[in-house]
Chain A
Amino acid sequence: MAAPLCVEVEFGGGAELLFDGVKKHQVTLSGQEGPWDIRNLLVWIKKNLLKERPELFIQGDSVRPGILVLINDSDWELLGELDYQLQDQDSILFISTLHGG
């Protein structure tokens, strides 16, 4: 049973185009039975925040290759990637590296 959480979700590098151009989102995740990890967060983002073209952001279970994920300014690879358990006031940043040069 996961308690409700408040996290900040940010998009950069062009990924914000898929979210109406809004870069920072304060997100309140309601309590639920399963844990709140990145995997579930992605599902939540797809359902509630993503405005268009989900295939440009999410591929299968995870983010599309080329999109970096930083949790509290640290590489998500150090924290378990999709299995990282979210904590209150965490800051999750998705940077698209595919755009521009």
Chain B
Amino acid sequence: MCQASEDYAEPVREDPPPVPRPGREQKCVKCAEGLPVVVIRAGDAFCRDCFKAFYVHKFRAMLGKNRLIFPGEKVLLAWSGGLSSSSMVWQVLEGLSQDSAKRLRFVPGIIYVDEGAACGQSPEDRAKTLAEVKLVLQSTGLPWHVVTLEEVFGLSPSVLRCAAQEPAGTEEAYKAAVDSFLQKQHVLEAEGSSSVAQGSEQLCSPPSQDPPGMAGSPTATQTEALSRLFNSVKTLTAKEELLQTLRTHLILHVARTHGYCKVMTGESCTRLAIKLMTNLALGRGAFLAWDTGFSDERHGDVVLVRPMRDHTLKEVAFYNRLFAVPSVFTPAIDTKAPEKASIHRLMEAFILKLQTQFPSTVSTVYRTSEKLVKAPREGCADGPRCLLCMCVLDIDAVDSATAFGAQTSSHLSQMLPVEAGLPTPSCCGAGEGQAQRCCRAVCGKEDMQAFVQEQLCYGCRVNMKDLSSLDPLPPYILAEAQLRTQRYWYLLFQEYLIQDSDEEEETGQS
């Protein structure tokens, strides 16, 4: 592509050799008899039935290959109304209705997050979209949850804490679980058809609304607070990242509340290829394996799974059209945004344009992402986690060689003289309440901003810079930041206390 002899003043357009195009006269490459309707990859024409078999097989193979979802587990399907997630939900529904040998064995639920307030939709449009969404949700027959993004203002700081990680099941454990599940099924069937009917009724329980604790529709103040938050973000890039972060926290909260231990998201191959390149540009290179891999276990108890990662957007769109998969179109935060409005849009345009001329672009990026390994940094396996994205921090606090390290250490050295003027340890040792009060005396507003910055990974720090102030953020983020800061100072004081008491003991004995 880049040649030494290329003249940059007058670019000479050299069209690449045309990709040989399959014609209508060709037969399906798989069954060699059907009339082809769609071209997959570079030149493979499939007929309708072979395409369906190919598509479904990819989905089942992706789930079967990574034996992460144990039989009987509750899995939450994150549905945005778009093409990929609708296709994913449809595949799960079809998988559940097959005969017992091939039936999918987990227990799904669906969640839909209404982001209309962040996208500036009017209440009437939101209500209309919600009505369409509920129709589709009810037709699935699965338990469903509709939450609005405004509910982030009611979240508790515990959502940002990584819960204890369950050890990943081994191959033997998976096989044993499957065997015992099948045995139970046989027993149920032997007992009589009435029990089986009961079992299937449980699966298709009437759609459940959220428990009365969660607000059905958001209050005007919450909607206003959310609009204020998104309007205070200066760039579209940071807005998209913030939206994604808040959405993840909300879905996590719902999953934990209702006992789901897995969440399935419908990111397709094309989207993940774009996401990989975008994240590199955003400074999240250290976390690519978690952001684009099949499974993402950073939250501990809830694992994010991406079963659609082998399907390209073209395949998804064709499948949805040919087999009438229902989807609901909702405008997003970047609808009708120009090409250079954000890093995400730029990367999307770049990859898709490259794909038209070099049809193996997306699959090459995808294959590269498959090779990424989730290895913790030496000595930091259990280190502090980013406040927002919950990945293990990729910044050394005391590394003065990097710009961020220098910034952090200079700030800490500024704080030390203030620390000398703190009240006696007895005040802070008296309990959390006391610690909170004297820490608040220490932490001014700018200090709070600095403290929050220090608890973020590089990518999240860069995004935070585009926020004019921390005030519009939902309270749980600042509360957790403050708690972590207090814990840090508390441990620091503890060290001093233990040292003092050791010295006293020594003097007493001598």
Binding site for B on A (CB under 8 A): 12-14, 16-18, 52-53, 55-56, 65-66, 68, 70, 73-75, 77-81, 93, 95, 97-101
Q: Which residue of chain B has the shortest Cβ distance to A97 in the bound complex?
A: B313
Q: Kindly state whether residue B83 has any CB partner on chain A within 8 Å.
A: yes
- Asked if A75 contacts B39 (CB within 8 A), the reply is yes
A100 touches B336 (CB 8 A): no
**Given contacts A100-B332, A101-B82, is CB(A65)–CB(B353) below 8 Å?**
yes
Q: Least Cβ distance of A37 to chain B in Å?
A: 15
Kindly state the separation between the CA atoms of A84 and B260 in the bound complex, as whole angstroms. 50
Q: When A97-B316, A99-B335, A100-B332 are in contact, do A66 and B80 touch as well, CB less than 8 Å? A: no
Residues of A within 8 A of B318 (CB): 68, 70, 75
Distance between Cα atoms of A55 and B386 in the complex (Å): 39
Q: Is B317 an interface residue (CB 8 A)?
A: yes
What CA separation (Å) do A68 and B356 show in the bound complex?
12
> Whole-angstrom distance between the alpha carbons of A99 and B86 in the complex?
13
Q: Is B38 an interface residue (CB 8 A)?
A: yes
| Known contacts A17-B336, A77-B21, A78-B22; A101/B38 CB under 8 A | no
Asked if B24 and A79 make an inter-chain contact with CB atoms under 8 angstroms apart, the answer reads: yes
- Measured CB to CB, the closest approach of chain B to A58, in angstroms, equals 14
Docked Cα-Cα span, A57 to B65, in Å, equals: 38
A75 touches B353 (CB 8 A): no
The interface residues of chain B, by DSSP majority, are classed as mixed
Give how many A-B residue pairs fall within 8 Å (CB-CB). 94
Chain A residues lying within 8 Å of B81, measured Cβ to Cβ, are 100
For residue B40, give the distance in angstroms from its CB to the closest CB of chain A.
Answer: 9
Ordered by A's residue number, 16 sampled pairs between the chains whose C-beta atoms are within 8 Å are: A17-B336, A53-B336, A55-B339, A65-B356, A73-B322, A75-B37, A78-B37, A78-B39, A80-B23, A93-B321, A99-B82, A99-B83, A99-B329, A100-B84, A100-B332, A101-B268
Q: Give the distance in Å from the alpha carbon of A32 to the alpha carbon of B85 in the complex.
A: 44
Q: Once the chains bind, are B36 and A65 in contact (CB under 8 Å)? A: no
Whether, in the assembled complex, B292 has its beta carbon less than 8 Å from a beta carbon of chain A, the answer is no
User: What 3 A-B pairs are tightest by C-beta distance, nearest first?
Assistant: A100-B82, A65-B352, A97-B313
Q: Report whether A97 and B21 are in contact in the complex, using a CB–CB cutoff of 8 Å.
A: no
Q: Is the CB of A100 within 8 A of B80?
A: yes
Contact between B39 and A77, CB atoms less than 8 A apart? yes
Q: Determine which residue in A16, A66, A97 has the highest number of CB atoms from chain B within 10 A of its CB, and name it.
A: A97
CB-CB < 8 A to B45: which residues of A? 75, 78
Which residues of B are found within 8 Å of A66, using beta-carbon distances? 313, 348, 352
Contacts of B26 on A, CB cut-off 8 Å?
A: 78
With A98-B348, A101-B80, A101-B84 as known contacts, state yes or no: A13 contacts B317, CB within 8 Å: yes
Which of A78, A79, A80, A101 neighbours the largest number of chain B CB atoms within 10 Å of its CB? Answer: A101
A95 and B332 contact, CB distance less than 8 A:
no
Q: Which residues of B contact A80 (CB under 8 A)?
A: 21, 23
Would you list which residues of chain B between 63 and 85 have a CB under 8 Å from chain A?
80-85
Interface presence of B267 (CB below 8 A): yes
Q: Output the residue of A18, A55, A74, A80 with the most chain B CB within 10 A.
A: A74
Q: Which of A17, A52, A73, A100 has the most CB of B within 10 A?
A: A100
Q: Is B270 an interface residue (CB 8 A)?
A: yes
User: Given A17-B335, A95-B321, are A100 and B355 also a contact pair (CB < 8 Å)?
Assistant: no
B485 within 8 A of A: no
Residues of B within 8 A of A17 (CB): 331, 335-336
| B336–A13 touching, CB < 8 Å | no
On whether A65 and B355 interact (CB within 8 A), knowing A53-B336, A97-B313, the answer reads: yes
The residue among B82, B83, B352 with the most chain A CB atoms within 10 A of its own CB is B83
Chain B residues closer than 8 Å to A18, beta-carbon distance: 336
Residue of B nearest to A78 (CB): B24
* B14-33 CB contacts (< 8 Å) to partner A: 21-24, 26
Q: What 1/0 flags go to B79-99 for Cβ under 8 Å of A?
A: 011111100000000000000
List the A side residues contacting B338 at CB < 8 Å. Answer: 55
B52 at the interface (CB under 8 A from A): no
Asked whether, in the complex, the Cβ of B313 is within 8 Å of the Cβ of A75, the reply is no
Complex contacts, A68 vs chain B, CB 8 Å: 314, 317-318
Asked if B271 is at the interface of the complex by the 8 Å CB criterion, the answer is yes
Per the bound structure, the CA–CA distance linking A99 and B84 in Å amounts to: 10
Contact of B317 among A55, A56, A79, A97 (CB under 8 A): A97
Q: Whole-angstrom distance from the CB of B58 to the nearest CB of chain A?
A: 17
> Which residues of chain A have C-beta atoms less than 8 A from B339's C-beta?
55
Q: Return A96 CB to nearest CB of chain B, in Å.
A: 9
**Residue in chain B with minimal CB distance to A98:** B348
- Is A97 touching B36 in the complex (CB atoms < 8 A)? no
**With A97-B316, A100-B81, A101-B267 as contacts: A74 and B330 at CB distance below 8 Å:** no
Q: What is the bound-complex CA distance between A12 and B324, given in angstroms?
A: 13
Judged by a CB distance under 8 angstroms, whether B266 is at the interface is: yes
B83 & A13 in contact (Cβ 8 Å cutoff): yes
List the A side residues contacting B335 at CB < 8 Å: 14, 17, 99
Residues on A with C-beta less than 8 A from B266 are: 101
Contact A74 B353 (CB under 8 A): no
- Chain A residue nearest to B316 (CB atoms) is A97
B80 neighbours in A (Cβ, 8 Å):
100-101
Closest approach, in angstroms, between the C-beta of A26 and any C-beta of chain B?
20
Residues of A within 8 A of B23 (CB): 78, 80
- Chain B 36-56: CB-based contact to A (< 8 A → 1; otherwise 0): 111100000100000000000
> In the docked arrangement, what's the CA distance between A98 and B321, Å?
15
